[in-house]
Chains A and B, each alone.
Chain A
Amino acid sequence: MIKLKSALAGALIAVLAISCGGNGDEGRQDRRDRVDILGAGATFPAPLITAMADEYRDLTRNRVTVNYQSIGSGGGIRQFIEQTVMFGMTEAFLSEEVMSNVEQATGGRAFNLPITVADVVVTYNIPGVGSGLVFDGALIVDIFMGDITRWNHPRIAELNPGKDLPNLPITVVHRSDGSGTTNVFTSFLSRVSDRWRNRVGYATSVNWPTGIGGNGNEGVAGAVQNTPGAIGYNSFAYALLNNMAYGSVINSAGNVIQPSFEATTEAANIELPDDTRILFTNTPAEYGYPIAGFAWMLVYENLDANRAIRTRREAEELVRFLAWSIVEGQELSEMLGFARLPEAAVEKSQQMIRQIKWENEFIGAEVLDGLAAAGSPNQ
């Protein structure tokens, strides 16, 4: 027994020694400078934010490590409120109720900082028909309501002259789990159709009138790809990654918009409120893709009120990372299948970052001014 225990203790000590001595080439002072930043939330922007974290770590020479765990938008908001993470991430902005609760608890506001634009495409599997089938809002509503049940329906043919559409039954596929993608998609349907708004509405999960459920983007994609005649919805990045056929959508200005990063960015190029809490599906932007919405990072105005942040240094490095992610970090977007933030959103975010405080000092403004002076986020 004693031998076993000492062996276990020895193993633990060895493990600790290894885990702490991982990067032995750095100096002692250097190590004290290091900061771990913890964020969690939405799954959709996770590939982007983790790639940013990789990049930022290299940029700061391992000084700042951003650990982002994708636990879903709901979880992101929850842990943000519980103050167990330094920043949250969500595809649905904070409700008035949550905002006022935060104000009561921390004496400051909660900021919703756009980090990227989520775009949802209609994916389908029709043998012999590739990407580019044209849909309008009313048609998508009719299909997802279960009113149009065959691909050779005159309404579809009308929008797609010259396309040879088979007499194939339509199988609707939707998400079975709560999802920001569903929120964006159903909010678009609610905006184009009163019938949809009254009967189904929009949320991270809704009562679908018809169709089969798939768990996650991959569940929907799998069902669509394995079922001839299936139609579903996926995030654009996911459809690209998996070579799925996706449709173009006619927007509110009457233009046929093929999904693209530019069209998605364009969708957000509208009059934004100062707190950027706006849903712009069915965007009024003339050449904007209509099924798109922001994904936001969540931070407190008073960072010292967030129990997850213990020191001013952590707060400063968090702010520095936020400022970097909405400007330089956006360079990674296209490569990873994400649309860039429009200028207007970056400006609004920077205005909010300026108001971030630590013990009543405006560290957000300090960091931004420091960056502007240095021209680079790092030394």
Chain B
Amino acid sequence: MKTLVQRNIRDRIMESLLVLSTIVVLLPLVIIIVHVIVNGISALNWDFFTQELGSPSRALQGRPTGLVHTILGTLVVDSMALIMAIPIGMGAGIMLSEFPDHKLNPTIRIMNDTLNGMPAILKGLLAFVLIVKPMGTFSGLAGAVALAFVMIPILARTTESALMSIPWSIREAGLAIGLPRWRVVLSTVMPAARFGLVTGTLIAFARAAGEAAPLLFTSFGNNYLPNHWLGMILGPADTLPQRLYSLAISPYTHWHSMGWAAAIVLLVFVILCFGTARYLTRQKH
């Protein structure tokens, strides 16, 4: 028979072990964030958010240069991708969760897993063939389609598991007052699973926001803001992950620190998205 003191000590040890392992999990994240901020903070200034990149000689000669077109391009391409992916991805998720007996479901599940496991660069290639070739030009739209391919399988998966976690009794309640099945899903199950759905959307979004490979031959990149209305959608657009890569492999030290600064912006962008969405989903309760 152990004494209370012994049991308390054991409890403490286990607790500190858990804290320790949490720290170990968080450590890489902290190291990455600190490293990115230390390296990039010096390049974050007013010009960075208001000027276009232009040529490397701008940076070498100390003339103003920045990434305003890249930041805007990222917002446009990522939002378009999300708008395209939500109906399709969530639709598939609803199908899998709410109509489990449908005979298409096994096929959907296999295709979804395949799409999820497919390398992102292949999705870029697909968008190249589907959008870039027929349009005759690289475009933000093509980049958005490629990113939508990244988001769709994740959305389908997370939607399915979010909806599955809602007790069956809620659906029965809806059906009992005479609602049709689609209405039950839309008005009772989905609102109840709101938090899970938003979290899933964010995971898909954050995953896509960091992808550079599918954008290489779709949105392609731009050194300037486009000259025309819808130029970012119908013409080549710059995006943060892709620009970050090209700045990092360039031979110019100033561009290297701009690359780090681009990483800070990308990090803040993703963190802000998480924060906003959490806030929006919590408001009602």
Chain A contacts to B: CB under 8 angstroms: 1, 3-5, 7-9, 11-12, 15-16, 18-20, 22, 31, 34-36, 38, 40, 46-47, 50-54, 57, 62, 65, 67-71, 82-85, 216-218, 221, 238, 241-242, 307-308, 310, 332, 335-336
Contacts and interface: CB of A to CB of B under 8 A. Distances in A.
A15 B79 contact: yes
B168 interface: no
B190 interface: yes
B65 to A, nearest CB: 10
Contacts of B230: 16, 20
Nearest to A32: B228
A36 B251 contact: no
A4 B280 contact: yes
B136 A51 contact: no
B76 A19 contact: yes
B277 A36 contact: no
Nearest to B281: A4
B57 interface: yes
Nearest to A16: B76
Given A53-B223, A54-B54, A7 B276 contact: yes
A50 B229 contact: no
Interface string B117-151: 00000000000000011001110000000000000
B227 A62 contact: yes
6 contacts: A12-B80, A19-B72, A34-B227, A69-B221, A218-B249, A307-B136
A11 B76 CA distance: 9
A82 B134 CA distance: 10
Contacts of A3: 280, 283
Contacts of A307: 136-137
What 7 A-B pairs come out closest when comparing CB atoms?
Answer: A307-B136, A50-B55, A34-B227, A51-B55, A12-B79, A51-B57, A15-B75
A356 to B, nearest CB: 18
Of B58, B82, B136, B246, which is in contact with the most chain A CB atoms at under 10 Å from its CB? B136
Instruction: Classify chain B: how many residues form its interface, as a range.
Output: 35 or more
Contact of A15 (B72, B82, B137, B198): B72
Interface string B160-185: 00000000000000000000000000
A1 B197 contact: yes
B214 interface: no
A75 to B, nearest CB: 9
Contacts of B260: none
Interface in B52-105: 54-58, 72, 75-76, 79-80, 82-83, 86
Given A47-B57, A67-B236, A238-B251, A4 B277 contact: yes
Of A9, A22, A83, A242, which is in contact with the most chain B CB atoms at under 10 Å from its CB? A22
B54 to A, nearest CB: 5
A7 B226 CA distance: 25
Contacts of A18: 72
Contacts of A38: 137-138, 220, 235-236
Nearest to A40: B220
A213 to B, nearest CB: 15
Contact of B82 (A8, A46, A52): A8
B154 interface: no
Interface of B: 54-58, 72, 75-76, 79-80, 82-83, 86, 132-133, 136-138, 190-191, 194, 197-198, 216, 220-232, 235-236, 246, 249, 251, 276-277, 280-281, 283
B4 to A, nearest CB: 50
Given A50-B54, A54-B55, A84 B136 contact: yes
Of A18, A19, A34, which is in contact with the most chain B CB atoms at under 10 Å from its CB? A19
Given A12-B75, A69-B236, 9 more contacts: A7-B280, A11-B79, A19-B72, A54-B57, A65-B227, A67-B224, A83-B136, A84-B136, A238-B251
Nearest to B71: A15
Nearest to A221: B251
Of A46, A84, A221, A307, which is in contact with the most chain B CB atoms at under 10 Å from its CB? A84
B190 A1 contact: yes
A217 B251 CA distance: 8
A310 B135 CA distance: 10
B228 A242 contact: no
Contacts of A1: 190-191, 194, 197-198
Contact of A31 (B72, B190, B194, B227): B227
Nearest to B220: A69
Nearest to A33: B227
A82 B220 CA distance: 14
B222 A19 contact: no
A84 B225 contact: no
Of B54, B198, B277, which is in contact with the most chain A CB atoms at under 10 Å from its CB? B54
A65 B224 contact: yes
Contacts of A308: 136-137
